[in-house]
């Protein structure tokens, strides 16, 4: 067994193409269920590769390096549309976890309750996948294919999350519901990004729900229904949450999850009114 | 396994060491770099005990690959305390403010807090919570930690500065910092897994993955031969003495290793002993065992249904035992009552969730074996091991390690028999530490309960009849189940005057984890039902719930349901009366809030009482304290009461020092090593301050008398410990005490004393009538909560706790017990339920974090007890008993809903709100 600590992406890709090594980064998931050594695979640690870490503004939008840690994201200066991502980052486990866990690890682990996924869905995030064969991009909802399943090929790694420039006036928020304050896996969560005009009319709405379906999902029907509504008093049509398919587990039952997701949605949208208007 | 050499800076020092692929930084630090101040609680990032700084950032060392330390700066609590003035000041505040109890989480707390204070010299409470939210504590309830972290509040909560006077003698009544505190803040106290030297043999247990299964073990000789690094396998065939162990005579039914049949998921069937490097990679699935799953009964309804599989042939219908108390005619009183409230209440398994998993170290010594392990009961461990090993007790030595929380579960054997058997079989030192999931699967739980209760009342507000029927799920083995069955009927009345009473409790075997002792022995479950129905009666009678309770409370001279009459020391009325101002204030505030708040939020205020008999129920329960003075004038206290975080090392010493008349900091305190210290009984049933405390008072008085007799000094003489030796000052002058080395005994003592105390109790007759306890302690709590009716969540806003402790030996430690008990009661009320196979870790099984425990105000009531030392009563269990019922009553006040099942999860509360 070997522990690889490449300094460059090309070095890492070469090791990965050998088929012997499993990728690790923050290790906040991979070290949880026993030691990764039990799998007897070589370990490929990506965190020493400078090019995979950090947040940069590009012409097309924003590029968040794969091994960027949650604490880097919550500390970064980003447009208000990223507030939901930052709020989600502050809800990932604990400070200890945020100092280690990476954004790409969060999506590659593909937990239905991954805190990072709903805000990234609202940001229309794309996943940049790199291998010795080249680079490709997939929309986040195409990348995560099921619980604990992704479209990552065996020789590929996630090199970055790419986010197109969000609408200038967009505001975003994130609500996580759990049975305790910290270190909690969501019962349900909602991420919203809403753009409203000066009159408070919604011009663009993006809503994503986590922990209520095998993969977190956008509610496109609801988003359409919200467009044109008053942000302070949005009416949510019945049936808006029919697309969800929550499960019963130790944290909550399915009926409650659906209920709570709807309630969180009703609350989060008025919260995203432009600052001066919220007092009403 | 090949290691790659890395270099790191550990606490300012450059170190080189091999790192192994997949190895955790925590393991490397502890086993190769001598940093045992890094504590392990879960290996999953769920508890934060192992928090270290990597280049200044707090991370869980258990989730950090060892390789990643290469070229980095690693800081642990020991290093921070050597070099960082912020950490040093923090330590002083932790000690002074009582922020450390058992100490297993303290390094993680200290490291996380230091990282915060380096960034932010004046953090808000929310910022402190955010910084410490990743470190779980099961003892303190977090409030004293919050206070200690803030640099502006270095006096420990609301305490006035003059109440903490480390310069004083530290006698009874003084809120001195715990005497063993520094070992906790520095991580130098040796807990169960900190004793073994690196590199000894290690043990792993092979456990049943099914609730109920037959099994056959294959060729273990061949397995040992073909698996490199494995040196031995242990099975039932290797147990030379008693195959089964247990804590109650007549109920010793739990096998060290299951034979043919495993009765719960996680039961041990074999143990594998091997070299450390191999055990790190050992895969239990490689062990030759074949399972045959069998039908399982996992709840008491299934286990008592006709035709259910029987767990133990001697117990038809899976009935383990019954407890019964009857006085007057409950049915008649209920029939003539003006109103009757009734309910069916249920609760599930609750996990102790101490942050230290069971761990220990053993080595062959002399003709026998010495076991170092975390324990609440060293002498019971010795008796049990001697029987299992077929050795005389003199050949078994127990040296208690530091205990990182116990709460009842570390009364039972866990790692000890495997350690002892392996040490004797291999002839070598061995160690083992349970993984978090092993600890949760295999050690005891709080009993799930199924309670049917009726309470009657007359229009004038007096109680009229109570009938209680409780079924308690004891899991696969008895453990402390008989104690629960006996205790519950004695306590189910609550501290109230009820002349017509019938209570029956049945313990039932099921294919679940053994349920045992957990803070309250079934009384908290019963209190939930009883206090809920009192509130419902008060509501129907339109009487203020607190005044309704006061109208019916026990007072001095009033007969209990067991026919016991205390003519002194009954303090429940005083507790409730002390709560009146807060009760009235909080009820008005909540009503105002509800009248004006729009939206989803409703507030409620609830009250509940509790009582708890200190010590064993109608059984002998002695504690012995030994002490001596050496020829050099050193005063030595053999303090055998296991300190599991509650503070016995401090409290017993304070009592002894008071009785002897010397400053507490001049004592040398020896622990419960069975080779040198007599039996102070087990740390359970809120008995140590009371029973061992009385033995300590007697021993201190006896030693004082011998000392004074040396110089014929007057009884009120002062003892001066001077550099020249012990001097006695009385009206006749100053006398030096000659301590002739030639007169010293084998232990070096020139003067000694040894005193035993056994509280006076009387047996219970067939109707449970008698004198079960020499004293009860009393408590009442107020909970103020806010319900989010849209989401079904409950946010506790404040708790006010009145506790009659008889005499506050150490008010700081009392607050610590109360706050910690409340945090556990809050968890039981709102979030905790252990489900075998589903919540076997600390991210699926939730205990409160620092963000979940509200401010707690403790009102100390001192209704002195004639039996307790200086009037003191026990406190440990009392702190938890009223909490959950007070919270449920507050939810009822906020929503009108009477909830019959705990925990009240958001899902359950929301469903009830929708049905309303």
> Tell me: the pLDDT tens digits for B17-41?
999 999 999 999 999 999 999 999 9
Query: Any catalytic annotation for residue B877?
Result: yes
The candidate with the shortest Cα–Cα distance to B647, out of B826, B861, B809, is: B809
Interface mutation target, options B59, B355, B435, B835, chain A, most CBs of A under 10 Å: B59
Q: What mean pLDDT, rounded, does chain A reach?
A: 95
CB B161 within 8 A of CB B155: yes
Q: What is the pLDDT of residue B162?
A: 37
Asked whether residue B36 is domain-assigned, the answer is yes
For the stretch A224-262, pLDDT in tens is 999 999 999 999 999 999 999 999 999 999 999 999 999
Asked whether residue B342 is domain-assigned, the answer is no
- pLDDT, average across residues B551-563: 98
**Percent of chain B residues past pLDDT 90, beyond the cut:** 97
Q: What is the pLDDT of residue A274?
A: 83
For the stretch B388-417, pLDDT in tens is 999 999 999 999 999 999 999 999 999 999
Cβ-based contacts of B280 with chain A (< 8 Å): 35, 37
B86 CB neighbour count, 10 Å cutoff: 16
Look at residue A124 and tell me whether its pLDDT is greater than 90. Answer: yes
B907 → closest Cβ in A33, A71, A253:
A253
Asked whether residue B328 is domain-assigned, the answer is no
B45 → closest Cβ in A32, A38, A253:
A32
Asked whether residue B334 is domain-assigned, the answer is no
Beta carbons of B791 and A250 less than 8 Å apart:
no
Beta carbons of A180 and B852 less than 8 Å apart:
yes
Look at A273 and A274; give whichever has higher pLDDT.
A273
Residues B772 and B693 placed together within one structural domain of the fold: no
List strand residue ranges (DSSP E) for B335-462, in order.
339-347, 350-351, 359-365, 368-373, 396-400, 430-433, 445-446, 449-457
Q: What is the pLDDT of residue B367?
A: 94
Cβ-based contacts of A252 with chain B (< 8 Å): 905-907
B-chain residue closest to A264, CA distance: B791
For the stretch B491-535, pLDDT in tens is 999 999 999 999 999 999 999 999 999 999 999 999 999 999 999
Look at residue B547 and tell me whether its pLDDT is greater than 90. Answer: yes
B-chain residue closest to A260, CA distance: B791
Q: What is the pLDDT of residue A39?
A: 61
The candidate with the shortest Cα–Cα distance to B75, out of B40, B104, B119, B38, is: B38
Residue B503 is part of which domain span? 445-616+765-915
- pLDDT, average across residues A90-107: 98
CB B528 within 8 A of CB B348: no
Residues B413 and B469 placed together within one structural domain of the fold: no
Q: What is the pLDDT of residue A38?
A: 55
Half-sphere exposure of A150 (CA within 13 A, CB side): 23
- pLDDT, average across residues A202-220: 98
Residue B515: CATH number of its domain:
3.30.365.10
Cβ-based contacts of B843 with chain A (< 8 Å): 183, 185
Distance CA B114, CA B39 (A): 17
Cβ-based contacts of A185 with chain B (< 8 Å): 843-844
Instruction: Tell me how far apart the terminal alpha carbons of chain A are, to the nearest angstrom.
Output: 62
Q: What are the strands of the beta sheet with A202-210, ordered from one edge?
A: A171-177, A188-196, A202-210, A217-218
Kindly report the nearest CA distance between residue A165 and chain B, in angstroms: 31
CB B33 within 8 A of CB A14: no
* Cα–Cα separations (whole angstroms), residue B238 to B71, B267, B426: 48, 17, 12
Which of B412, B433, B454 is the last residue before a domain boundary?
A: B433
Q: DSSP code of A277?
A: G
A1 touches chain B (CB under 8 A): yes
Cβ-based contacts of B910 with chain A (< 8 Å): 256, 259-260
Look at residue B826 and tell me whether its pLDDT is greater than 70. Answer: yes
The candidate with the shortest Cα–Cα distance to B64, out of A26, A48, A6, A72, is: A26
The candidate with the shortest Cα–Cα distance to B185, out of B258, B296, B333, B76, is: B76
- Reported as a pLDDT band with limits 50, 70 and 90, residue A280 is very low
Q: Which string of DSSP letters, residue by residue, matches B270-295? A: EEEEE-HHHHTT--GGGS-EEEEE--
Look at residue B897 and tell me whether its pLDDT is greater than 60. Answer: yes
Asked if residue B903 has a cis previous peptide bond (ω within 30° of 0), the answer is yes
Asked whether residue B105 is domain-assigned, the answer is yes
Residues B557 and B608 placed together within one structural domain of the fold: yes
B843 → closest Cβ in A3, A71, A185:
A185
Q: Which sign does the torsion angle of CA B553, B554, B557, B560 carry?
A: positive
Q: Which string of DSSP letters, residue by residue, matches B152-168? A: T-TT-TT--GGG--TTS
Cβ-based contacts of B4 with chain A (< 8 Å): 3
Look at residue A68 and tell me whether its pLDDT is greater than 60. Answer: yes
B45 → closest Cβ in A2, A96, A259:
A96
Kindly report the nearest CA distance between residue B765 and chain A, in angstroms: 44
Q: What is the pLDDT of residue B157?
A: 41
- Reported as a pLDDT band with limits 50, 70 and 90, residue B15 is very high
Which of B154, B183, B212 is the last residue before a domain boundary?
A: B183
Which of B375, B400, B433 is the last residue before a domain boundary?
A: B433
Which B residues, 85 through 144, put their C-beta within 8 Å of a C-beta on chain A?
112, 115, 129-131, 133-136
Residues B58 and B41 placed together within one structural domain of the fold: yes
Look at residue A279 and tell me whether its pLDDT is greater than 60. Answer: no
Q: Is CATH 3.30.390.50 the classification given to domain A171-274?
A: yes
Q: What is the pLDDT of residue A1?
A: 84
Residue B31: CATH number of its domain:
3.10.20.30
CB B360 within 8 A of CB B468: no
User: Helix axis angle, B106-119 relative to B125-132, nearest 10°?
Assistant: 130
B792 touches chain A (CB under 8 A): yes
For chain B, what is the domain count? 4
B58 → closest Cβ in A28, A96, A184:
A96
Q: What is the pLDDT of residue B3?
A: 77
The candidate with the shortest Cα–Cα distance to A267, out of A184, A198, A177, A187, is: A177
A100 touches chain B (CB under 8 A): yes
Residues B128 and B222 placed together within one structural domain of the fold: no
How many interchain CB pairs under 8 A, A with B?
162
Q: Which string of DSSP letters, residue by residue, matches B493-531? A: T-SB--SSEEEEEEEEE-SSPPB---TTTTHHHHHHHHH
CB B448 within 8 A of CB B516: no
Q: What is the pLDDT of residue A21?
A: 95
Q: Which two tokens stand for residue B447?
A: 């009993």
Q: What is the pLDDT of residue B160?
A: 39
**Percent of chain B residues past pLDDT 70, beyond the cut:** 98
For the stretch B785-820, pLDDT in tens is 999 999 999 999 999 999 999 999 999 999 999 999
Distance CA B96, CA B111 (A): 18
Q: Which string of DSSP letters, residue by residue, matches A139-162? A: EHHHHEEETTEE---TT-EEEEEE
The candidate with the shortest Cα–Cα distance to B97, out of B146, B28, B47, is: B146
A35 touches chain B (CB under 8 A): yes
- pLDDT, average across residues B893-901: 97
Beta carbons of A252 and B849 less than 8 Å apart:
no
Look at residue A278 and tell me whether its pLDDT is greater than 60. Answer: no
A95 → closest Cβ in B67, B134, B830:
B134
Q: Provide the CA B782 distance to its chain's centre, in angstroms.
A: 23
B835 touches chain A (CB under 8 A): yes
A182 touches chain B (CB under 8 A): yes
- pLDDT, average across residues B552-577: 98
Residues B102 and B148 placed together within one structural domain of the fold: yes
Helix (H, G, I), strand (E, B) or coil at B1: coil
A247 touches chain B (CB under 8 A): no
Q: Which two tokens stand for residue B399?
A: 């040296």
Instruction: Tell me how far apart the terminal alpha carbons of chain B are, to the nearest angstrom.
Output: 62
Residues B457 and B426 placed together within one structural domain of the fold: no
């Amino acid at each position: 067994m070997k522990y690889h600590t490449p300094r460059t992406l090309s070095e890492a890709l070469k090791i990965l193409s050998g088929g012997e090594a499993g990728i690790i980064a923050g290790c906040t998931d991979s070290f949880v269920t026993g030691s990764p050594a039990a799998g007897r695979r070589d370990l490929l640690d990506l965190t020493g590769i400078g090019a995979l870490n950090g947040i940069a503004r590009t012409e097309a939008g924003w590029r968040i390096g794969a091994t960027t840690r949650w604490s880097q994201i919550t500390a970064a200066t980003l447009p208000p549309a990223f507030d939901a991502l930052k709020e989600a980052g502050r809800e990932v486990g604990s400070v200890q976890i945020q100092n280690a866990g990476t954004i790409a690890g969060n999506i590659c682990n593909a937990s239905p309750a991954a805190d990072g996924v709903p805000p990234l869905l609202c940001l229309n995030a794309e996943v940049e996948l790199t291998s010795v064969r080249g680079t490709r991009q997939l929309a986040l909802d195409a990348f995560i294919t099921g619980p604990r399943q992704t479209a990552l090929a065996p020789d590929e790694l996630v090199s970055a999350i790419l986010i197109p420039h969000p609408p200038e006036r967009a505001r975003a928020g994130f609500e996580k519901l759990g049975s305790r304050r910290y270190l909690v896996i969501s019962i349900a969560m909602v991420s919203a990004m809403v753009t409203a005009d000066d009159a408070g009319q919604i011009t663009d709405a993006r809503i994503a729900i986590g922990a209520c379906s095998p993969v977190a999902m956008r509610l496109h029907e609801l988003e359409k229904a919200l467009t044109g509504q008053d942000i302070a008093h949005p009416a949510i049509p019945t049936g808006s949450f029919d697309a969800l398919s929550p499960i019963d587990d130790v944290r909550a039952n399915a009926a409650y999850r659906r209920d709570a997701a709807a309630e969180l949605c009703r609350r989060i949208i008025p919260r995203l009114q432009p600052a001066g208007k919220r007092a009403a | 396994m090949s290691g790659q050499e890395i270099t790191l800076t550990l606490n300012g020092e450059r170190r080189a060491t091999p790192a192994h692929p997949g190895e955790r930084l925590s393991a490397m630090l502890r086993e190769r770099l001598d940093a045992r101040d890094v504590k392990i609680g879960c290996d999953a990032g769920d508890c934060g005990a192992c928090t270290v700084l990597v280049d200044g950032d707090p991370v869980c060392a258990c989730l950090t690959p060892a390789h990643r330390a290469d070229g980095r700066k690693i800081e642990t609590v020991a290093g921070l305390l050597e070099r960082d003035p912020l950490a040093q000041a923090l330590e002083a505040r932790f000690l002074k403010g009582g922020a450390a109890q058992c100490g297993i989480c303290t390094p993680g707390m200290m490291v996380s807090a230091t990282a915060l204070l380096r960034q932010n010299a004046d953090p808000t409470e929310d910022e402190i919570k955010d910084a410490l939210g990743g470190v779980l504590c099961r003892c303190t309830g977090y409030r004293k930690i919050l206070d200690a972290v803030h640099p502006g509040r270095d006096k420990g909560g609301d305490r006035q500065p003059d109440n903490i006077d480390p310069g004083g003698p530290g006698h009874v009544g003084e809120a001195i910092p715990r005497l063993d505190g520094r070992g906790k803040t520095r991580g130098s106290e040796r807990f169960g897994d900190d004793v073994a030297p690196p590199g000894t043999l290690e043990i792993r247990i092979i456990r049943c993955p099914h609730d109920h299964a037959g099994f056959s073990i294959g060729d273990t000789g061949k397995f040992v031969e073909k698996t490199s690094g494995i040196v031995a396998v242990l099975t039932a065939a290797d147990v030379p003495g008693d195959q089964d162990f247990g804590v109650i005579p007549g109920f010793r039914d739990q096998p060290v290793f299951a034979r043919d049949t495993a009765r719960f998921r996680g039961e041990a069937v074999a143990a594998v002993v091997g070299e450390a490097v191999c055990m790190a990679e050992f895969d239990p699935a490689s062990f030759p065992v074949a399972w045959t799953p069998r039908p399982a009964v996992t709840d008491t309804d299934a286990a008592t249904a006709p035709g259910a599989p029987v767990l133990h042939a001697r117990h038809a219908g899976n009935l383990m035992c019954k407890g019964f108390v009857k006085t007057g005619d409950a049915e008649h009183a209920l029939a003539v009552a003006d109103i009757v409230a009734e309910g069916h209440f249920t609760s599930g398994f609750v996990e102790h969730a101490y942050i230290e998993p069971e761990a220990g170290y053993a080595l062959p010594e002399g003709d026998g074996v010495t076991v170092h392990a975390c324990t609440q009961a060293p002498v019971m461990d010795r008796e049990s091991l001697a029987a299992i090993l077929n050795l005389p007790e003199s050949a078994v030595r127990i040296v208690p390690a530091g205990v990182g929380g116990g709460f009842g579960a570390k009364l039972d054997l866990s790692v000890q028999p495997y350690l002892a058997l392996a040490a004797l079989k291999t002839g070598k030192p061995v160690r083992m530490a349970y993984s978090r999931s092993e600890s949760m699967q295999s050690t005891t739980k709080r009993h799930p309960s199924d309670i049917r209760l009726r309470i009657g009342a007359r229009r004038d507000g007096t109680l009229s009849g109570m009938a209680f029927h409780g079924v308690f799920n004891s899991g696969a083995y008895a453990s402390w189940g008989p104690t629960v069955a006996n205790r519950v009927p004695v306590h189910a009345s609550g501290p109230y005057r009820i002349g017509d009473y019938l209570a029956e409790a049945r313990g039932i075997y099921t294919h679940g984890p053994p349920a045992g002792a957990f803070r309250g022995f079934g009384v908290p479950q019963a209190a939930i039902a009883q206090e809920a129905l009192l509130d419902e009666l008060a509501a129907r009678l339109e009487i203020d719930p607190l005044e309704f309770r006061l109208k019916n409370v026990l007072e001095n001279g009033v007969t209990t349901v067991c026919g016991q009459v205390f003519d002194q020391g009954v303090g429940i009325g005083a507790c409730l009366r002390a709560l009146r101002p807060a009760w009235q204030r909080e009820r008005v505030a909540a009503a105002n809030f509800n009248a004006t708040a729009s939206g989803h939020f409703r507030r409620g205020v609830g009250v509940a009482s509790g009582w708890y008999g200190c010590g064993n129920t109608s059984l002998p329960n002695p504690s012995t304290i030994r002490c001596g003075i050496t020829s050099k004038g050193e005063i030595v206290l053999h303090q055998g009461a296991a300190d599991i975080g509650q503070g016995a090392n401090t409290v017993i010493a304070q009592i002894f020092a008071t009785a002897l008349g010397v400053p507490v900091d001049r004592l040398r305190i020896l622990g419960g090593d069975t080779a040198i210290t007599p039996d102070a009984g087990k740390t359970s049933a809120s008995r140590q301050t009371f029973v061992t405390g009385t033995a300590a008072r007697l021993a201190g008085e006896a030693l004082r008398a011998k000392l004074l007799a040396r110089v014929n000094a007057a009884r009120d003489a002062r003892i001066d410990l001077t550099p020249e030796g012990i001097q006695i000052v009385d009206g006749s002058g100053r006398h030096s005490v000659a301590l002739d080395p030639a007169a010293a005994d084998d232990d070096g003592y020139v003067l000694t004393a040894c005193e035993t105390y056994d509280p006076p109790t009387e047996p219970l007759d067939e109707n449970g009538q008698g004198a079960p306890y020499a004293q009860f302690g009393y408590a009442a709590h107020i909970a103020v909560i806010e319900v989010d009716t849209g989401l079904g969540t409950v946010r506790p806003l404040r708790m006010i706790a009145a506790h009659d402790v008889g005499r506050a030996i150490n008010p700081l430690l009392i607050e610590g017990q109360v706050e910690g008990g409340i945090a556990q009661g809050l968890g039981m009320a709102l979030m905790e339920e252990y489900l075998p196979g589903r919540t076997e870790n600390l991210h699926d099984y939730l205990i409160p974090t620092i963000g979940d425990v509200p401010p707690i105000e403790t009102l100390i009531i001192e209704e002195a007890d004639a039996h307790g030392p200086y009037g003191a009563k026990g406190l440990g269990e009392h702190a938890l008993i009223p909490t959950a019922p007070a919270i449920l009553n507050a939810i009822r006040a906020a929503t009108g809903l009477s909830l019959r099942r705990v925990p009240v999860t958001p899902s359950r509360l929301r469903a009830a709100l929708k049905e309303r």
